[in-house]
Amino acid sequence: AQRRWVSGLIMAASPPSAPGESAPPPPPLQYSVLLQHLVGDKRQPRAWDPATLGGIPCPPKSEEQKMVERVMESCPFKAALACVGGFVLGGAFGIFTAGIDTNVGFDPKDPYRTPTAKEVLKDMGQRGISYAKNFAIVGAMFSCTECVVESYRGKSDWKNSVISGCITGGAIGFRAGLKAGVIGCGGFAAFSAAVDYYLR
């Protein structure tokens, strides 16, 4: 019924034909033209603009913002950040391990003497500083090496962590010999791969 009604409207809107002449073809329906512009060949691709959809427009970045982004993405900044983070983490780990160690404040000259609170706190501080330095060095070496490897390869994947872990572990282990360097390279590379797999 609806189709007959639309056909009737089209026939009524079309001009009357002279007798003996064939009737002109009816004009196309409006919804078919609309479909051609929406999903057909006449559809025009439009650039996505958040402002037209009611979103928040993103203004262009200034030179200061670009400079700050370049500094934050640079290898020295990443190494310094990892150094600070490693120092804090190592200090906390050292104090924690010293707190559960029964030999903190122990005097080998007088094993039966009970250490004072000052001596215990002093040993805990020394161990915390020692752990903090080691963690800071390892964190800075690993982060700087990973940044350099990533910049050289031009990719960000798990291979960067494995290569930088091997280099860092090998450099730390080589101080104790070739065998220790090889073991450190393999162990640190495996640990870096496991951490990268877990985080990704």
pLDDT per position as a tens digit, 17-49: 555 556 666 555 566 666 666 666 666 666 555
Residue corresponding to tokens 């913002």: 65
Instruction: Determine the 3-state secondary structure of 61 from DSSP.
Output: coil
Q: State the pLDDT at residue 18.
A: 52
CB atoms within 10 A of CB 158: 14
Query: Alpha-carbon distance 183 to 173, whole Å?
Result: 7
Residue corresponding to tokens 């934050």: 72
Contact (CB, 8 A) for 142 and 164: yes
Q: State the pLDDT at residue 12.
A: 47
